[in-house]
Amino acid sequence: MPFIPHTPEDTSEMLATIGAASIEELFDEIPPELRAGDISGLAQSLMRPEPEMAVARLMQERARADGEPLCFLGAGAYEHHIPAAVWQLATRGEFYSAYTPYQAEASQGTLQVLYEFQSMMTALTGLDASNASLYDGASALAEAALMAVRANRKVKDKRVLMPASVHPFYRQTVRSIVRHQGIELVEVPYDPTGGHTTISALEQAAAGKPFAALVIPQPNVFGVLEEVDSLTDWAHQHNALVIGLVNPVALALLSPPGEWGTQSEKSGGADIACGEGQPLGMPLASGGPYLGFLCCTQALVRQLPGRIAGKTLDLDGNPGYTLTLQAREQHIRRSKATSNICTNQGLLVTAATIHLSLLGAEGLERVAAACHANTRALIARLCEIPGIEPVFDRPVFHEQLLRLPRPTEDILKALAAENILAGFNLGRSYPELDGSLLVCATETRTESDIDRFRDALGRALS
């Protein structure tokens, strides 16, 4: 069966209808240099008579070149164990589609998955409502910022305080998305000793002017835990909303954003929580696809982009699921839909839901505890090497920034030659952190992995 639906007859009929003599004439408005007619740049091997086989061979070669390195790299994407059942189930025909069904097409099974996902995300974040996913964690943060500025009716100023301890790639993404909406992102420097955000830095950045929201990363890009309670209280005292940017695995151990702050009636809890769902069952696959999540309090639910699945009973008393409260979806809000986000990451939501169901609350807590314990063991071992020490002195979850006695890029290259991904070079984004390395250990790292890393690093430095 041909995969191109138009026969030559169909094509000529369509061209005749619109009065064009040929495909060339149809496209004559497009300057020739902009057309992709010339594919001579493609590798010769792909031009052979059996292109599918050639492409498959090329991709296998590239995959072999990637190898299966020993990974101590985190910085926003984490290698976790994924039970085999997750993708076995997620790729069943009933779920497996690149396409997200609209209301009228969504099956009860799909709707129930969304409902379960949302229930689990609200339980993890301690908030009232969750949408059914966004593209990734960075765009979820951008949506959270837009949402906070829209929703904060006490403050008209479109300013968002954005700590420098938020992942630099996330900050770039947020900037790209909000810069044409009149929103000002105010950078808050981190404390040079602790790597965290302090109230005095916030006071200075706010400069006495009102702001709509404060972003609080937990843990932050340095792996460091922020003082979320005092930051939340401070933001609420200034009539600003609090956006928690959180790691869902870390939430199994750390207090959920919904409980941040002193919990007084007026001040308690972050208003919005968002983050990257990749640690919940998505493999590391050259950068995607990923899964953004976004949760909020009941008060903000009509500002939440995306869809919410609700559960109800039909006339016969049988449970039924339906999409509801989608005030920012295109078909409800028309031009005021936030980013025309309708396509959610449905398949990844399915995987995350199965992953969380299989682990359960206790399982997720075990994973988080193992990540933390392995990271402590890793740091202890690496700091045995003379010249290596933590850059910041505050507690971390599963990543830590280490100072190295030799240039970071040299170390990364030397360890890559031994098939070890040693970590992330934050000096590329923070010049003052040149000569440091962000390392990470998840529950998948063993004692012998850590020993191998330590030995290889020792050799690279000797």
Partner 1 sequence: MSQVPSDRVYSDSHEWLMDNGDGTATVGISEHAQEALGDLVFVETPSVGDELSAKQACAVVESVKAASDIYSPISGEVVEVNELLSETPELINGDAHGEGWIFRLKIADPTEIDDLLDADAYGELIAED
> CB count, 10 Å around CB of 180?
7
Stretch that binds partner 1, among 172-180, 233-241, 327-335, 443-451 (CB under 8 A): 327-335
Residue placing its CB nearer to partner 1 in the complex, 64 or 334: 334
Distance CA 360, CA 138 (A): 26
Q: Which stretch binds partner 1 (CB under 8 A): 27-35, 329-337, 347-355, 386-394?
A: 329-337
Backbone angles phi, psi at 272, to 5 degrees: -135, 140
According to the binding rule CB under 8 A, does residue 26 interact with partner 1? no
CB atoms within 10 A of CB 314: 8
According to the binding rule CB under 8 A, does residue 302 interact with partner 1?
yes
Whichever of 152 and 247 has its CB closer to partner 1, that residue is 152
- Candidates 404, 398, 388; CA nearest to 436 is 404
Name which of 64 and 153 has its Cβ closer to partner 1.
153
Asked if 332 interacts with partner 1 (CB under 8 A), we say yes
Cα torsion for 305, 306, 311, 313, to the nearest 10°?
100
Give the nearest distance from C-beta 273 to partner 1 in angstroms. Answer: 23
Binding footprint of partner 1, residue count (CB under 8 A): 8
Between the two ends of the chain, the Cα-to-Cα distance in Å is 62
Q: Sign of the CA dihedral 133, 135, 139, 143?
A: negative
Q: Is 179 in the site for partner 1 (CB under 8 A)?
A: no
Among candidate residues 260, 370, 295, the one with its CA nearest the CA of residue 124: 295
Using CB under 8 A, pick the residue from 327, 342, 377, 383 that binds partner 1. 327
What is Dmax (Cα atoms) for the chain? Answer: 78
* Contact code string over 37-76 relative to partner 1, x by CB under 8 A: ----------------------------------------
Task: Examine residue 333 and tell whether it contacts partner 1 (CB under 8 A).
Answer: yes
Give the interface segment with partner 1, choosing from 12-20, 53-61, 325-333, 342-350 (CB under 8 A). Answer: 325-333
Q: Which one, 175 or 302, has the nearer CB to partner 1?
A: 302
Give the whole-angstrom CA distance, residue 352 versus residue 294: 14
Please state the closest distance from residue 338 (CB atom) to partner 1, in A: 12
Of 92, 336, 406, 413, the residue at the interface with partner 1 (CB under 8 A) is 336
The binding track of 112-151 with respect to partner 1, each residue x by CB under 8 A or -, is ----------------------------------------
Beta carbons of 201 and 189 less than 8 angstroms apart: yes
Report d(CA 131, CA 143) in Å as an integer.
12
Indicate the burial class of 49 (C-beta count within 10 angstroms; 0-12, 13-18, 19 or more).
exposed
Q: Does 153 bind partner 1 (CB under 8 A)?
A: yes
For the bound state, the minimum distance from the C-beta of residue 332 to partner 1, rounded and expressed in Å, comes to 5
Interface residues toward partner 1, by CB under 8 A: 153, 302, 327, 331-334, 336
